[in-house]
Amino acid sequence: MSAVYSLIGPPLSSVWSRYFDEDVVGLEHIPESGPLIVASNHISHLDPITLCQVFWKNRPRRQLNFLAKEELFAKQPLKSLMRITGQIPVARGSSSAKDSLVHAREALNDGRTVTIFPEGTVSVLFVPMKPHSGVGRLALETGVGVLPIGVWGTHRTMSKYRERDIVAHRPVTIDIGPVRRYGTGDGSARDVSEDVMSAIVGLVESARTRYPERPAVDDWWGPPDWPLEKAGRWRPKLDKSMQPDEALAEAARALEQAT
């Protein structure tokens, strides 16, 4: 485990506890040791810290190594911090994106914990999106088990295209499912990725249902009419040139048209 990772864990955990009250179920599903793939939904820029917090408090010997967009490695001091703590850069939207899986496999071969958001980016409407095939490829090529996790509540504080709303002791619910293992008879990487996402969707639904606060009809962080049947089946076509209102409108259109 990185010494830097061990050092930053306790102080960050202390700060985190001032602003978030996490309610976690399923901790018994986290293996004590051995290589592991952690797969979670992605609704907030805070999700990596959220997952680290769970492991810092409950499995402190497990360091999470995230597949992270390469833009985070572009400038100091974040570049050095990402490298020192063993994070894995991904060139999203390019042919070299698959190269990051080489480093992920190496980490798993070393017995480490690789963490991936199968959606590849933040879901701007908070409904789980169609996954990329990376998590399926990793699971099939390494035989390492996948630990699915559903997170709800972090998006109320910080998410994409929304203003930050930082308050003390905001609830966050986290549901952890049993480890899923895959072999050659379980289909393609796409099939496995979709199976992992199906498990995540169920956990998100559970975490959302357990959440102690309910959105009003006009609250953006809902949605009150939860489209469970479309979760894991949709993906908007967004680009960096879009204004927030344009991106959210495109996302709403894509979700509405999903089958």
34-60 confidence digits (pLDDT tens) = 999 999 999 999 999 999 999 999 998
Local confidence band at 98 (pLDDT 50, 70, 90 cut-offs): low
CA torsion through residues 46, 51, 56, 62, sign = negative
pLDDT computed for residue 249 by the predictor? 96
- Of 32, 50, 39, 30, the closest CA to residue 138 belongs to 39
pLDDT band at 218 (very low <50, low <70, confident <90, very high): confident
Overall residue count recorded for the chain in this entry: 259
Would the pLDDT of 87 be above 80? Answer: no
pLDDT at residue 186 is higher than 80: yes
pLDDT of 95 reads 53
pLDDT tens profile 20-38: 999 999 999 999 999 999 9
Please report the pLDDT score of residue 3 as a whole number. Answer: 66
Cis peptide bond upstream of 48, omega within 30: no
Alpha-carbon distance 131 to 160, whole Å?
A: 18
The yes-or-no verdict on residue 232 having pLDDT over 90 is yes
Other Cβ atoms within 10 Å of 233 Cβ, number:
18
pLDDT above 60 for 79: no
pLDDT for the residue numbered 160: 93
Residue 70: its pLDDT value, please?
A: 60
pLDDT of residue 94 exceeding 60: no
Pick from 65-69, 81-85, 131-135, 238-242: least confident: 81-85
pLDDT of residue 91: 63
pTM: predicted TM-score of the whole model, two decimal places: 0.91
What pLDDT is stored for residue 124 in this prediction? Answer: 96
| Dist. CA 219–CA 87, nearest whole Å | 35
Which two structure tokens, joined as six digits, stand for 195? 């199976």
* Reduced 3-state DSSP string for the chain: CCHHHHHHHHHHHHHHHHHEEEEEECHHHCCCCCCEEEEECCCCCCHHHHHHHHHHHHCCCCCEEEEEEHHHHCCCCHHHHHHHCCCEEECCCCHHHHHHHHHHHHHHHCCCEEEECCCCCCCCCCCCCCCCCHHHHHHHHHCCCEEEEEEECHHHCCCCCCCCCCCCCEEEEEEECCCECCCHHHCCHHHHHHHHHHHHHHHHHHHHHHCCCCCCCCCCCCCCCCCHHHCCCCCCCCCCCCCHHHHHHHHHHHHHHCC
List the one residue out of 110, 148, 123 whose CA is nearest residue 2. Answer: 110
